[in-house]
Amino acid sequence: MEQESARSSSEVEEKRWPEGTYITIRFAGTHEDAAPYYRNLLDYIEEKGYNLIEDALEITYIDYGFTGDPSQFVTEIQMLAK
């Protein structure tokens, strides 16, 4: 139970993200659709000679909380690179 409460909290938190260059991609879909977009980001990072610094950050902008139409879902992936 303790682990579950750590994942779902209604308390306001302050988070600080590392400064730097974030390679991003936004796409229509959810986490389940994300695999080819991760591949695109990793290919871009390699092509440009960047090094991946942190794990990816995946942000859902529009999902079932806003619409019942999956074609309207929007997700963004961000990767910190140097």
Using the predicted structure, report yes or no on whether residue 2 has a pLDDT greater than 50: no
| β partners of residue 74 | 28, 62
pLDDT at residue 77 in the model: 97
Closest CA to 80 of 40, 50, 60: 50
Residue 35's alpha-carbon distances to 6, 14, 57, 77, in angstroms, are 27, 29, 13, 11
Other C-beta atoms within 10 Å of 32: how many? 9
pLDDT at residue 73 in the model: 95
Handedness of CA 35, 40, 46, 51 (dihedral sign): negative
Is residue 56 within 8 A of residue 79, CB to CB? The reply is yes
| Greater pLDDT, 1 or 18 | 18
Its pTM stands at 0.79
pLDDT at residue 13 in the model: 87
Is residue 78 within 8 A of residue 45, CB to CB? The reply is no
pLDDT at residue 14 in the model: 85
pLDDT digits (tens, 9 = 90+) for 4-55: 444 566 898 887 888 999 999 999 999 999 999 999 999 999 999 999 999 9
